[in-house]
Chain A
Amino acid sequence: MKQKVRRSQRVDRGMTFVFYAVAFFFFALLFAFASKVILGGLAGATPEMFGFLRKGSIGNQLFNTVYLVFLSLLFSVPIGVSAGIYLAMYAKQGKATRFLCLCIETLSSLPSIVVGLFGYLVFLVFFGMGKSLMAGALSVSILTLPLITKTTEDAIKDLPPGYFQASMGVGATKWQSVFHVLLPACVPRIMTGVILAAGRGFGEAAALLYTTGSGSDLRWGNWDITSPTCPFNPFRPAETLSIQIWNLQTNGQDRDLANLASAVLMILVLVFSIAANALSRRISRKNSGEKS
């Protein structure tokens, strides 16, 4: 008996050590990974690489990435938020609603390459758009739509029921309560979802492979919006940072440039996810403060 106890105590201590080791190992791995990408990328960079040249720089690609994500949010935020409001406020319990939830799940687990193919088929083949920022932005918005819908729905559902009841009690209609009371109260949480969606959009590559093409020939100062070299023309082919890494990989040239592109992409995503994290922490602190 005594021996058994001693043995299980030994095992317990051993396993505790194993857990510490595993946790520490992965922590170190993630840390090494991040510092390798960021420091390694920045170390090999030359000043020209940050410029807006046709070749050998990342400025245009960085602009394309941000612009593409901005365009995609223009589509996915209104649709996602309204679908979320519908789910939280108007949908009745039933088969149709369950099906809608299933659809959201399906969309969120679609492989991005499949979404890219769908975007290619619909926007390029059927609508004849040609490889363009717009086609890529629409494909990315399909990928981010479920995330925004889900956060909006959860944000509204998690509000204290008193918000809605009080608003209805003073004679507001349902929409008035949604728009003037519930939505303003959820804005921070919805923002968190949008920031996360943007972060996902920045790194998306497979969905853009066949939809945005790889043009990086921009002429800054060309404000004719229909011209293919105007930076703000949404119907021009555009190379994003992630596609640039992919293209450099296939061509096998200019390692430093790809390293730098990865570093910048990583910093972009890190900044966005840390912002989302900080925001959601502030919300939860505020909420727990209100309760006490």
Chain B
Amino acid sequence: MSDGALHRALGLTDDEYALVEGVLKRAPNHLELAMFAVMWSEHCSYKSSRIHLRRLPTSAPWVLVGPGENAGVIDAGDGVAIALRIESHNHPSAIEPYQGAATGVGGILRDVFTMGARPLAVMDPLFFGPPDDARSRWLVEGVVAGISGYGNSVGVPTIGGELTFDEGYAQNPLVNVLCVGALPRERLVLGRASGVGNLAVLLGSRTGRDGIGGVSVLASAGFSGADGAASLDDEKRPSVQVGDPYEEKRLIEACLALLDAGLVVGIQDLGGAGLTCAASETAARGGVGMDLDFTAVPLREAGLAPWEIMTSESQERMLAIVRPEDLAALEALCARWEVRCAVVGRVSAPVADAAGRPVGMVRVREGFDGPVLAEVPAVSLADEAPLYDRPRARPADLDARRDDDPADEPAGDVAAELLASLVDPAWVYRQYDSQLFLNTVVGPGRDAALLRLAGPGLPASERGFALTTDSNPRWCAIDPRAGTALTLLEAIANLACVGATPAAVVNCLNFGNPEHPEVMWQLSEAVDGLAEACVAAGVPVIGGNVSLYNESGGRDIDPTPVLGVVGLVERLVAPPPGWTWREGDAVVLLGPREARPDPFPLAGSLFARRRGRRGGRLPEFDERALVACRFVAAEVARVCAGGVSDVAAVHDVGAGGLATALAEMSAASGVGLAWGDPRGHAELFTEAPGRFVVATRDPAALVEAAAGAGVEATVLGLAAGARLALGEMCDLAVADLAERRASALARALGR
């Protein structure tokens, strides 16, 4: 046992230190300890969540690569595969919003082009504290500028995301980023080392001191100060990486060209835990070892210690495994793209352990054949981190909160509620290039994004794909299991609005401190809810990310599982209906009018939250809601395929309920609606996903078709005039609504 100071400073517990000694059959030296510390960090090893994640369904005939690789991959048809990945960059963004968000984008792109896919689009779900706070404004503007600055210049469009303001995120904002890429099916590559004697070549930026300990010091601990992040700014800022999109752009083009030319046998990005992670994961997957010469790593500054080189998280770096005879061709291609490359190691044969089994060793040497400074089994770093089944406990106040139902909240002024709660996120997404590659049919700001399945180097196809990211911490705070299941339903409903059928899910599980039993209970419940809903919907989970320790001053965030769902559209030659209805259209609600046949209509709703109510009960996930989603998806898909339709507009009933959906459609079209008989404010504001507002010239045909499919349909009224009239409860000028919605965000941010 060491004196404990060193391994604890690096983030390892005393028990974990003992495990390291057991693996090595000796005490680790400083370098080896540093390598274990980063690889066994929560961020890299998922040591608190892995036993739960195993319960997720991950297979389907169209899944080409499931969880565990750099990105999940599905077969999208016509010889094209889609790669999908989601990540969090929460803690770096809390400390340095511009660089935190920028490097979040950079990291996720590398995960996707590592698979051989060209990154085609990015989405960013963002969660901040209320915008009337100066620090929140600084975070919002910094994060948006970072995504814009990096994403636009690296040449990948940002096509959507989410923007949530809630006091729970004031000290611990969430910055998640999802990337989708596409590749010709046959180009699929895996991050795997093979071929003893092959070379390990480091591509891209030089290595510096930035980001050392990012995964352990920063991502795997909470913010402890009473004022949250602020008190730790100075201490932790050096653990935030700095991004260079121009370097990344050249790295993308060089790597895709190398893959096209068949010059690499395996490739892996350097993200969290840097070179240690890339070397140990590629070696472990390939069942081989790897010798690395730390003196061969190009450095940004002189004098880095071996442990700094091995754990640096400097951005824009890739590790390629290359046959020696291909090295010259690789160097020439890198020179064209002005990408630095250096041979830093070679694949080594496994050695026999005490029991005679082959073990691939990661060795760090001084010179290629020089003295060995560290020698560690690759699998012990990559796959053998301790697995924790941390204590779980139902929150003590759960029953009391469930009894505190907001059904007693009075309606108040419905018109004022709508004017105050509608927010158009355009101020954010106008700052993102959302159109590059000429694929964006439906861009940011709608239910889901819809893109053509096309890109440089892809086989021709008329297919399309849709993407959405969804979360609902209001629901998950009340009931993480039902809340997460309903979040998947919401995502599927969003996809249906653009005609897409769900094909795969990735999840980013943002939770609080896993050492709090209530947090582990939330996580476990959320995983179960997601698993149940995925099985019901027939959609596999192909990857994910877990972000824990989202706490400050001892307060955990509300459970925030974010789901990214990709859907497919068979034929995309015409845009789907938008939110714009026409004068004289009939406005129809698809899905049950009694959305929640229980006595808790407003629990978890935005309406309740805006009144400070956080209690009540959620309805269970109901498979019947999937029927309405399928009906709408089929109807819209027919339009996308060029079919004639009387449907002018489609929008799902999401956050803010039916009143919000109707108000958004009125604002978008500039045409009002007269709905004579809403049954009360609960009907206006209840939230139950799987319902849709559809505007059509021929309501009789729609109602009949819906009935044939087993979907309830209610004609609410006619779109007409310049006022939104909801019974006796609301009478509002559409122009006022549109103006307030359009300017709400800029006003809130003081811009």
Q: Report if A and B associate in a common complex.
A: no
